[in-house]
Structure 1
């Protein structure tokens, strides 16, 4: 037969056992949230209308080449800038002065559209540029 003095100690022992067994689960739970801060994650979106967000990230950049304005990626040439969204495709266009693709920039279009429209416009632009050169020689 149990006495009244053993009941509180039994209850205390039961509570201690439950706490001991739940500690790993609590540790796992809180560790999940602690790990979120340490993982690489996408950059947060800039506050609407706040230029200081962009300026701070641009100044903090250690890019020795070209810093892409939309993604803040560091690339060798503007035409190498990645598109900001995975469902987009990068379509390069030439530099207006040199005519080289690697010196130009890029448009981002939906994957389904492809670069056909950009390439067609690029061809028309190049034809107009050559026509302008010929017209300027005649003046």
Structure 2
């Protein structure tokens, strides 16, 4: 009887050690008295435009620096859209351009709507 109790006690200790190891390896909060490393959480961006202005001032461009993407291009209407996989670019009169969301439209639908808006029909 005593040997059965000793075997059960030993197995319980091994199982506890095994799962304690997995908790530490995979971030389970059981720490088992060991000091856990504190990882620093990413900080939110500041609520002002200082970060943008600092990047703008650091960017070198001999031609035209696009104010929204900080791309260096020869002419303002050559500025790319910030999210080209989600936006279509359209050049307007006088060297201007706009970026229109592709979201939910059929292929070419954004272009059709821009053209209707140019004609005053939308």
Under a length normalisation based on structure 1, what TM-score does the superposition of the two structures give?
0.44
**Higher relative contact order structure (alpha carbons within 8 Å, sequence separation ≥ 6):** 1
Higher fraction of helix: 1
